[in-house]
Structure formats: structure tokens, C-alpha cells
């Protein structure tokens, strides 16, 4: 680990990346890794903005999880504290678990019922517990390695499951050509970033001794950019497939030929609004019916009381 101690004190994270600590400012441990994490926040916000109307809530949750990962990454790289490292790693794990749920439960009728989300949640909580227990002693190198590789292993396995399912989507003969372009672009960008992630992790000393005094290229920061873009593309692909299975006739659109998003026909949005309006109208009719019924009962009770009063008065006069 780097020996420089800044505003946040001695690093307690189980891993310290290749960027030199507090080199740019006394208040941010890894400046470039922290700054590049904003890419994740931006990707998630754009995804929610483009895919909130007419789409199932689970797809918005997938995009929202990218935002949470980005915020956690800012906290982690900005401080290098273990407690905030968990805010980076745990959201990453639950983000990929949410994607797993979306790709496996992608039919009109739920195939696995409530057991799939329950099982994925229990699995995520179990791995989180192992990470917390093994990583809390940051002075024990063995426990650090256990925490790091338990997280990495779980993340890679679950991400692999999602990726294998995307192969099934893109090699469907009826799929749009643009969907295959989306998958290929995301795969290449993600792979390049992942290679850079490994170089930054395993060849750090060489990154600081490049020829011609070339500065450290900050490959982990570039990984944040490629991971943000790749994660966004995967979420778009999963959203497209899920919406198509549900019969919403999605179309793939591109901004400047590099930023895709899904568009639904106006009829879907109108049907959704009609359904909402219809429910509200039904509720209003029911409420009006209840009010009228209550008024009728009150009138009937008042009438009965008035008749009784007249009868009692007549009887009293007859007695006299």
C-alpha cells in the first residue's frame, strides 16, 4: 500500500490501487479513481431517465443500482476505508444479482415464483456477511485476501451467468441487428477495461516506471469508465429483451451511434395511462356510490325518526 497518509487517516481497505494516495489533494485518497466513479452515477441517471415510462420497475432498479455502485465507489476511493469499501463492493454484488433475476425471470408468467428473489437475496446477504467478517481485520493479510477473492469470485460467477444469457438473446435469429451491435460493443469495451483493471492491480510498479517519463495512465480510473458504459449497455439489453417478451414491441435507438436506449410505441404509454386513469375513475365511482348510499341511509333514518315522533305525539293526545 502507499505510505502517504492524508485527511482520512491510515487506509483500512483490503486493497489499495495503483494510483498514489493523496497525490492531487490532501482530502481525496485516490483522486482519479474517485472522479471517474461519477461515470457510473451519470450512466445510471441517464438509464432511469430514458427507461422509466412504460417499463417494468425492475429495469429501473437495475439502472438505479449503477448509481448506488457509483456513489459507493466515490466513498471507497475517496477514503480507502474498509467500512466504505463495502459501500462499493456490496452494491456491485446486488446489482449483478438484480440483473440475474431480470434475465432468469423474463417470461410473462413467473417461472420460479417467489423462491428466486428469496434465494438470490439470501445468497447476497451470506456473501456480504463473509466479506464483513473476513475483512474487518485489515492488519491480517490472509483475511484481506479472503474478503477480496470471495467478493471477486461471487461477482465474476454471477456476471458470467448474466453474460451467458445475453448470448442467448443476441444469437436469436429474430433479434434486431442493432441489438447485436450493442452486445458486441459492450463486450469489447468491458473486456478492454477488465484487462486494464488487471494490469493496474498486478503490474503497478511498472505503471510508475514507463519509458520517456510517461505518467501512470490510471488504468483503474479507465476501468470505471468502461465498466459504466458496459453495465449500462447490459441493462439496456436486458430491458430490451424483457420488454419484447412482455409484448411491448420495444425499438432500439442510438444517440450519435454510441449511446443506445429503448423506445416503446406510443400505444403502450397510452394504454398504461388509460389503465391508471381507469383505476382512478373506478375508485371515484365506488367512492361516489358509497357517499350516495350513506346519504340515503341518513335520510331513511331521519324519516323513520320523524314518523315515530308524530306517532308518539298522536298517541299522547288520544290518551288525554
Weakest mean pLDDT among 14-18, 106-110, 170-174, 209-213: 106-110
Weakest mean pLDDT among 18-27, 110-119, 159-168, 306-315: 306-315
pLDDT for the residue numbered 273? 52
C-alpha cell at 229: 458504459
- For residues 135-146, give the mean pLDDT: 72
Handedness of CA 247, 163, 217, 17 (dihedral sign): positive
Q: Is the separation of the CB atoms in 138 and 13 below 8 Å?
A: yes
Q: The whole model's pTM is what? A: 0.78
- pLDDT tens string 265-303: 886 655 555 544 445 544 544 455 566 566 656 666 665
Q: Which residues are annotated as a binding site?
A: 16-17, 19, 21, 30, 77, 220, 224
Residue 136 burial by Cβ neighbours in a 10 Å radius (0-12, 13-18, 19+):
middle
The overall longest dimension of the chain from CA atoms, in Å, is 126
- pLDDT tens string 144-155: 778 878 888 888
pLDDT for the residue numbered 13? 87
Percentage with pLDDT > 70 across the chain: 80
Q: Which residues are annotated as a binding site for Ca(2+)?
A: 16-17, 19, 21, 30
C-alpha cell at 315: 298517541
pLDDT for the residue numbered 148? 79
CA torsion angle for 143, 145, 148, 151 (degrees, to 10)? -80
- For residues 161-173, give the mean pLDDT: 86
Question: Residue 126's closest CA among 84, 93, 96?
Answer: 93
pLDDT for the residue numbered 285? 45
Give me the residue spans of the domains in the chain: 31-264, 267-320
pLDDT for the residue numbered 302? 63
Question: Residue 204's closest CA among 7, 9, 33, 86?
Answer: 33
C-alpha cell at 72: 459507493
Can you tell me the distance from the alpha carbon of 32 to that of 279, in angstroms, rounded to the nearest whole number? 50
C-alpha cell at 264: 416503446
pLDDT for the residue numbered 12? 86
Q: Is the separation of the CB atoms in 198 and 9 below 8 Å?
A: no
- Topology given in CATH for the domain delimited by 31-264: Rhopdopsin 7-helix transmembrane proteins (1.20.1070)
Radius of gyration of the chain (CA): 30
pLDDT for the residue numbered 82? 87
Q: Which residues are annotated as a binding site for Zn(2+)?
A: 77, 220, 224
pLDDT for the residue numbered 24? 94
- pLDDT tens string 61-111: 999 999 999 999 999 999 999 889 888 988 998 899 988 888 887 776 777
Weakest mean pLDDT among 73-82, 146-155, 187-196, 203-212: 146-155
- Mean pLDDT for all residues in the chain: 83
Amino acid at each position: 500500500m502507499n505510505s502517504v497518509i492524508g485527511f482520512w487517516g491510515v487506509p483500512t481497505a483490503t486493497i489499495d490501487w495503483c494510483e498514489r494516495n493523496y497525490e492531487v489533494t490532501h482530502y481525496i485518497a485516490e483522486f482519479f479513481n474517485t472522479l471517474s466513479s461519477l461515470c457510473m452515477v451519470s450512466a445510471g441517471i441517464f438509464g432511469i431517465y430514458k427507461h422509466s415510462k412504460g417499463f417494468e420497475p425492475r429495469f429501473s432498479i437495475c439502472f438505479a443500482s449503477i448509481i448506488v455502485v457509483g456513489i459507493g465507489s466515490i466513498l471507497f476511493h475517496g477514503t480507502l476505508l474498509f467500512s466504505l469499501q463495502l459501500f462499493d463492493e456490496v452494491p456491485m454484488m446486488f446489482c449483478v444479482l438484480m440483473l440475474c433475476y431480470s434475465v432468469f425471470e423474463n417470461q410473462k408468467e413467473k417461472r420460479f415464483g417467489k423462491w428466486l428473489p428469496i434465494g438470490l437475496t439470501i445468497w447476497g446477504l451470506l456473501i456480504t456477511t463473509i466479506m464483513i467478517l473476513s475483512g474487518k481485520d485489515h492488519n491480517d493479510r490472509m483475511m484481506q485476501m479472503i474478503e477480496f477473492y470471495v467478493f471477486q469470485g461471487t461477482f465474476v460467477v454471477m456476471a458470467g451467468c448474466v453474460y451467458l444469457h445475453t448470448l442467448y438473446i443476441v444469437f436469436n435469429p429474430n433479434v434486431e441487428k442493432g441489438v447485436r451491435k450493442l452486445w458486441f460493443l459492450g463486450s469489447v469495451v468491458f473486456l478492454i477495461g477488465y484487462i486494464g483493471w488487471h494490469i493496474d492491480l498486478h503490474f503497478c510498479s511498472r505503471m510508475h516506471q514507463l519509458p520517456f517519463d510517461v505518467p501512470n495512465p490510471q488504468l483503474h480510473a479507465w476501468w470505471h469508465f468502461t465498466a459504466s458504459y458496459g453495465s449500462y449497455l447490459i441493462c439496456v439489453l436486458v430491458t430490451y429483451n424483457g420488454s419484447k417478451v412482455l409484448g411491448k414491441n420495444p425499438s432500439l435507438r442510438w444517440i450519435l451511434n454510441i449511446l443506445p436506449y429503448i423506445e416503446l410505441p406510443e400505444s403502450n404509454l397510452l394504454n398504461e395511462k388509460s389503465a391508471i386513469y381507469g383505476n382512478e375513475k373506478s375508485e371515484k365511482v365506488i367512492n361516489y356510490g358509497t357517499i350516495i348510499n350513506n346519504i340515503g341511509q341518513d335520510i331513511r333514518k331521519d324519516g323513520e325518526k320523524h314518523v315515530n315522533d308524530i306517532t308518539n305525539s298522536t298517541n299522547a293526545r288520544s290518551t288525554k
